[in-house]
Structure 1
C-alpha cells in the first residue's frame, strides 16, 4: 500500500503524520509542488515484458504527461534482487541529491521509497505499483530501493542523456528510515 510519512527534520524516529489514501497523499504533496497520481494500463503486461510493451500499455498517459510538461524522452528500468550490482545501485541514490530537471517515475511493478527534504520536513513517499511521482527540479531528496529490490519503472526526462544527480553533501538521509524489505 502506498503511503506518505511526514517527519520534522528534528525527529526522524517519529512521523508527524502517516497517510495511506491516494487523495490525502496527493493533496499533501501537491502543497509542496510534488505530483502524485495513479495510472492504470490499457493492456495487460506479461511478466518479463520488454520496454516497448511496457511503454505501449501506458502510452496515452505518457503522451499526455510529455505534452503537459515538455518531457522529451522515456525509458523503462527493471531491477530485481538477482541483479549482481544491486547493492551498488542502491547506494548510488541513498544520499541526498537533486536534479536540474524533474524526476518522473511511474511504478509499473514493485516499490521504492522517495524521501523529499522540503524546508524543515521530510516527506517519505512509499511508491508502489501504479504510482506516479513527479519530483520538481531542484528538490533535495533520496531514493531507497531496498536491500532486495524489485521494481519496473517508466522514467521521463527533458535531457536525452538522462538526469545527472547533484549531491548536496548533507547527511540527513542517514538519519531517516529506509525501505524495509
Structure 2
C-alpha cells in the first residue's frame, strides 16, 4: 500500500514523522501542495518473470500514450530490478545519495515498490511507491531513492531528455539521517 511520511529536516536519532498516511487522496493532495504529481493507476498486466523491456513497454502502451500525449516526455524506458540483479547493491548506493535532475523524474510502478525521499524546504517527504503508483518529481527537486537490499520492482520511466536519467549529486549527507525502505536508519540496522 502506498504511504507518505513527512519528517522535519532537522530530525535527529530515529526521526518521527509529523504526518503518516496510506490514503491515496491525502498523499496526492499533500504532494500536490509541494508541486509533486502523484496518481493511482491500475497496473492491469501481470508480467512474465522474464519479460523484456520491449514486452513491458508493449504491455503498458496505453498508459505510455496517456503520459506522452502532452508531448512533454518523448523518451520512455522500463527498469526491472530483482533481488538477484548482479549490480543491485551498487545501484542502491548510487540512488541513496541526494541528487537533482535537470528534467522531471516520472515513474509508473507496475510491480513491486520503491521509496522516493524528497527534500523540499524544511521537510523530507518519504513516498513509498508501489505497483499502480505514478509519480512526477519536478526538475531541480532534491531527492534520493531506496530500492531496498533485495530490490523487486518494475517501473516505466519517462524523460524529456533523450539522454535519459542524468543525476547531479548535491554532496549533502542528509539521506543518511532518514529511514530506508526496510525502516532501518542507514548504517544502524533496525
TM-score grouping bracket, smaller chain normalisation: over 0.9
Does residue 1:166 correspond to 2:183, yes or no? no
How many residues are paired up?
A: 181
1:136 aligned to 135, 138, 159, which one?
138
Question: Unaligned regions of 5+ residues in structure 2, if any?
Answer: 184-190
Is this contact kept in 2: 1:100–1:163, CA < 8 A?
Answer: no
- TM-score relative to the length of structure 2: 0.90
Between stretches 9-18 and 133-142, larger displacement belongs to 9-18
Report the counterpart of residue 87 of structure 2 in structure 1.
85
Question: 1:38, 1:129 → 2: CA distance?
Answer: 9
Report the counterpart of residue 115 of structure 2 in structure 1.
113
Shift in Å, 1:70: 1.1
Give a deviation string over 1:59-100, Cα, whole Å, max 9, x none: 222112112251111111111110111110100111110000
Report the counterpart of residue 98 of structure 2 in structure 1.
96
RMSD: 1.5
Q: How does 1:35-46 map to 2 (within 5 A)?
A: 35-46=37-48
Question: 1:110, 1:117 → 2: CA distance?
Answer: 23
Is this contact kept in 2: 1:7–1:121, CA < 8 A?
Answer: yes
Does residue 1:8 correspond to 2:8, yes or no? yes
Question: SS of the residue aligned with 1:143?
Answer: strand
Question: Unaligned regions of 5+ residues in structure 1, if any?
Answer: none
Is this contact kept in 2: 1:40–1:58, CA < 8 A?
Answer: no
Question: 1:51, 1:21 → 2: CA distance?
Answer: 31
- TM-score relative to the length of structure 1: 0.94
Question: 1:123, 1:166 → 2: CA distance?
Answer: 20
2:72 aligned to 56, 66, 70, which one?
70
Question: SS of the residue aligned with 1:149?
Answer: coil
